[in-house]
Amino acid sequence: MTGLKMTKLSSNENCYGCSQMARDAILLNYQDAHLYPELHPHALKEQLAQKYGVRSRNIVLGAGSVGIINNLILSFVGNGEEVLTFENSFIAYGQLSHIHNHSCHFAPLADLSCDPVNLMSYINDKTKLIFIANPNNPTGTIITHAQLQAFLESVPERIVVVIDEAYAEYVTDPSFPNSVNLQARHSNLVILHSFSKIYGLAGLRIGFAIAENDIAAELTHCQIPFSLNYLSYHAASCALEDTRFIDDSAGRNDIQRKYLETEFRRMGYNTIATQSNFIYLWFDTDAEKVKVYDILLSNRIIICDLKVFGQELALRITIGDQETNTRIIELLS
Ligand SMILES: Cc1ncc(COP(=O)(O)O)c(C=O)c1O
């Protein structure tokens, strides 16, 4: 039956699974699944606060970082007010804004990255919330500390700026922002993190935000009671502790993304250096794109057709392990 297994490279999960320590925590705690979870898991909040050098009251946990994105929109965008983000970026920002009946505007990328300068001409009196994915999904590019700092210095303080760092642990570029430092001077900055990517816990749905006191209190206030499940925060706590697993995943990913980038370029594909665990390809025609998608699909490898992001001529491939990547290159050569 193993011959029928699909290799899923469409949602940027960790191809190496999750930490054994997190698995053990799941097995140990599932027997207590008849109990309600803690309303605000203090131990995990404290652990995160120590890791990031903030207070535990500045940590907000959520059912995935999309749960927190939803609560940010719910809490900070009123009737007639607007959300701003980038086109060719994470789709949940626009989707959730529309679910809550808010307009969401989309600034263009610059060289496939979320250059905040491009946001400036879209800001108006109604703008309340800005989302910047860093690294950007689906292009894998980053903005630097200097770019984010300059933006925070020029954007009105009444606007909440969200920097979504779901893939931060994969970044090796030293110019990546130290967002916690920036938050100390810009209290309107909210930092988002996910346990779904390098921590390998996508199925358990847990993410967190780091936010200034009032923003954190507001986000906590609008949470659905018990929305965090019992297994998620026990597993997350162990996943955080297992730094060997994280370093190993990041190291292997770095080797594999360099391999894919080099090989795709050698074969003449359009691609861009990625700081994440996925790689972006774009094509001149639909036929070329569909050909790549179909070759991989017929070999049981499922990747993301970025039609869902509104891009007709691009694909995103989650970076798999060495064996998978060698196979992809062989198939597309
Ligand atoms: C930029 C970005 N933010 C957030 C998320 C959602 O993460 P979570 O699983 O924590 O809701 C994703 C998932 O793909 C993402 O790409």
Q: How large is the average pLDDT for residues 31-52? A: 95
Q: Best substitution site from 89, 90, 275 to test ligand 1's pocket, by max atoms within 8 Å of Cβ?
A: 90
Q: Is 204 in the pocket of ligand 1 (CB under 6 A)?
A: no
Place of tokens 């810009």: 186
Q: Best substitution site from 13, 66, 136, 162 to test ligand 1's pocket, by max atoms within 8 Å of Cβ?
A: 66
Each residue's pLDDT tens digit, 227-254: 999 999 999 999 999 999 999 999 999 9
Q: Is 164 in the pocket of ligand 1 (CB under 6 A)?
A: yes
213 Cα to the center of ligand 1, angstroms? 24
Q: Is 90 in the pocket of ligand 1 (CB under 6 A)?
A: yes
138 Cα to the center of ligand 1, angstroms? 11
Torsions phi, psi for 242 (to 5 deg): -85, 75
- Domain spanning 20-241, CATH architecture: 3-Layer(aba) Sandwich (3.40)
pLDDT of residue 3: 55
What CA–CA distance (Å, rounded) separates 194 from 207?
A: 4
What CA–CA distance (Å, rounded) separates 184 from 165?
A: 17
Q: Is 133 in the pocket of ligand 1 (CB under 6 A)?
A: yes
Q: Is 58 in the pocket of ligand 1 (CB under 6 A)?
A: no
The reply to whether 2-16+244-332 and 20-241 are identical in fold is no
Each residue's pLDDT tens digit, 76-90: 999 999 999 999 999
142 Cα to the center of ligand 1, angstroms? 16
Each residue's pLDDT tens digit, 123-159: 999 999 999 999 999 999 999 999 999 999 999 999 9
Structure tokens at 116: 């905040």
The yes-or-no verdict on residue 5 having pLDDT over 90 is no
Check residue 121 and report its DSSP letter: G
The yes-or-no verdict on residue 179 having pLDDT over 80 is yes
Name the residue ranges covered by the structural domains of the chain.
Answer: 2-16+244-332, 20-241
Nearest Cα residue to 90 out of 244, 186, 207: 207
Q: Is 10 in the pocket of ligand 1 (CB under 6 A)?
A: no
Task: Report the range of poorest mean pLDDT among 38-42, 272-276, 318-322.
Answer: 38-42
Q: How large is the average pLDDT for residues 199-208? A: 98
Query: DSSP string of 192-227?
Result: EEESSSTT--GGG--EEEE--HHHHHHHHHTSPTT-
192 Cα to the center of ligand 1, angstroms? 9
Q: Is 138 in the pocket of ligand 1 (CB under 6 A)?
A: no
pLDDT of residue 309: 85
Q: Best substitution site from 73, 142, 196 to test ligand 1's pocket, by max atoms within 8 Å of Cβ?
A: 196
User: Which percentage of the chain shows pLDDT scores above 90?
Assistant: 97
Q: Best substitution site from 9, 169, 194, 306 to test ligand 1's pocket, by max atoms within 8 Å of Cβ?
A: 194
Strand pairing category for 189-194 and 160-164: parallel
Residue 132 contacts residue 116 (beta carbons within 8 Å):
yes
Instruction: Quickly state the pLDDT bin for 111 (edges 50, 70, 90).
Output: very high
The yes-or-no verdict on residue 1 having pLDDT over 90 is no
What CA–CA distance (Å, rounded) separates 112 from 133?
A: 12
Place of tokens 């950007």: 136
State the alpha helices, DSSP H only, in the chain.
20-29, 42-52, 64-76, 92-99, 145-154, 179-185, 213-221, 230-241, 243-266, 286-298, 322-332
What CA–CA distance (Å, rounded) separates 283 from 105?
A: 26
Nearest Cα residue to 305 out of 294, 316, 319, 295: 316
67 Cα to the center of ligand 1, angstroms? 10
The yes-or-no verdict on residue 2 having pLDDT over 50 is no
195 Cα to the center of ligand 1, angstroms? 9
Q: Is 196 in the pocket of ligand 1 (CB under 6 A)?
A: yes
Q: Is the peptide bond before 174 cis (omega within 30 degrees of 0)?
A: no
Instruction: Quickly state the pLDDT bin for 73 (edges 50, 70, 90).
Output: very high
Place of tokens 């290799």: 7
Overall CATH class of domain 2-16+244-332: alpha beta
The yes-or-no verdict on residue 289 having pLDDT over 50 is yes
Q: Is the peptide bond before 156 cis (omega within 30 degrees of 0)?
A: no
pLDDT of residue 166: 98
The yes-or-no verdict on residue 66 having pLDDT over 60 is yes
Structure tokens at 242: 């297992």
Q: How large is the average pLDDT for residues 83-103? A: 97
Check residue 143 and report its DSSP letter: -
**Beta-carbon contacts of residue 189 (< 8 Å; ≥ 6 apart):** 152, 161, 162, 163, 179, 182, 183, 212
Using the atom order of ligand 1, give the atom closest to the CA of residue 206: 10
User: Which percentage of the chain shows pLDDT scores above 70?
Assistant: 99
CA-based diameter of the chain, in Å?
Answer: 58
What CA–CA distance (Å, rounded) separates 271 from 328?
A: 15
Instruction: Pick the residue whose CA is nearest to atom 2 on ligand 1.
Output: 166
Q: Is 242 helix (H, G, I), strand (E, B) or coil?
A: coil
Residue 219 contacts residue 72 (beta carbons within 8 Å):
yes
What CA–CA distance (Å, rounded) separates 35 from 63?
A: 18
Residue 143 contacts residue 135 (beta carbons within 8 Å):
no
Q: Is 13 in the pocket of ligand 1 (CB under 6 A)?
A: no
Strand partners, 133: 164
66 Cα to the center of ligand 1, angstroms? 6
Rounded-to-10 torsion of CA 141, 325, 266, 276: 10
